[in-house]
Protein backbone atom coordinates (compact mmCIF):
# COMPACT_ATOMS: atom_id res chain seq x y z
CA UNK A 1 0.00 0.00 0.00
CA UNK A 2 2.97 2.33 0.47
CA UNK A 3 3.61 2.47 -3.28
CA UNK A 4 -0.08 3.18 -3.90
CA UNK A 5 0.01 6.03 -1.37
CA UNK A 6 3.18 7.48 -2.89
CA UNK A 7 1.64 7.27 -6.36
CA UNK A 8 -1.49 9.07 -5.12
CA UNK A 9 0.66 11.81 -3.59
CA UNK A 10 2.43 12.17 -6.94
CA UNK A 11 -0.91 12.34 -8.76
CA UNK A 12 -0.39 9.01 -10.56
CA UNK A 13 -3.84 7.50 -10.09
CA UNK A 14 -3.22 4.65 -12.55
CA UNK A 15 -0.22 3.38 -10.57
CA UNK A 16 -2.11 3.90 -7.32
CA UNK A 17 -4.97 1.69 -8.52
CA UNK A 18 -2.59 -0.97 -9.88
CA UNK A 19 -0.81 -1.31 -6.53
CA UNK A 20 -4.05 -1.28 -4.57
CA UNK A 21 -5.18 -4.27 -6.68
CA UNK A 22 -1.83 -6.02 -6.13
CA UNK A 23 -2.08 -5.52 -2.36
CA UNK A 24 -5.66 -6.81 -2.27
CA UNK A 25 -4.68 -9.86 -4.33
CA UNK A 26 -1.72 -10.63 -2.06
CA UNK A 27 -3.90 -10.30 1.04
CA UNK A 28 -6.46 -12.72 -0.42
CA UNK A 29 -3.76 -15.26 -1.35
CA UNK A 30 -2.17 -15.14 2.10
CA UNK A 31 -5.53 -15.59 3.79
CA UNK A 32 -6.56 -18.38 1.42
CA UNK A 33 -3.29 -20.31 1.36
CA UNK A 34 -1.78 -19.74 4.81
CA UNK A 35 -4.66 -19.37 7.28
CA UNK A 36 -5.11 -22.50 9.39
CA UNK A 37 -8.71 -22.35 10.64
CA UNK A 38 -8.27 -25.28 12.99
CA UNK A 39 -5.16 -23.84 14.65
CA UNK A 40 -6.45 -20.26 14.55
CA UNK A 41 -3.32 -18.71 13.05
CA UNK A 42 -1.32 -18.38 9.86
CA UNK A 43 0.92 -21.26 8.80
CA UNK A 44 4.61 -20.83 8.11
CA UNK A 45 5.84 -22.44 4.91
CA UNK A 46 9.62 -23.11 4.79
CA UNK A 47 11.37 -21.77 1.69
CA UNK A 48 12.56 -25.27 0.76
CA UNK A 49 9.03 -26.67 0.82
CA UNK A 50 7.21 -27.61 -2.43
CA UNK A 51 4.21 -25.77 -0.91
CA UNK A 52 6.28 -22.56 -0.95
CA UNK A 53 6.79 -22.88 -4.71
CA UNK A 54 3.09 -23.73 -5.13
CA UNK A 55 2.05 -20.63 -3.18
CA UNK A 56 4.15 -18.26 -5.25
CA UNK A 57 3.02 -19.78 -8.52
CA UNK A 58 -0.41 -18.17 -8.02
Beta strands in the chain (DSSP E): 35-36, 41-42
Cβ-based burial of 8 (10 A; exposed 0-12, middle 13-18, buried ≥19): middle
**How far is it, in rounded angstroms, from Cα 54 to Cα 58?**
7
- Phi first, then psi: give them for residue 36, nearest 5 degrees: -110, 100
pTM: 0.69
pLDDT tens digits, residue range 6-58?
999 999 999 999 999 999 998 998 898 889 999 999 988 777 777 666 666 65
Amino acid sequence: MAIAKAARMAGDLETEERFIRKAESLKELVQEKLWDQQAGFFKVVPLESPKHREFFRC
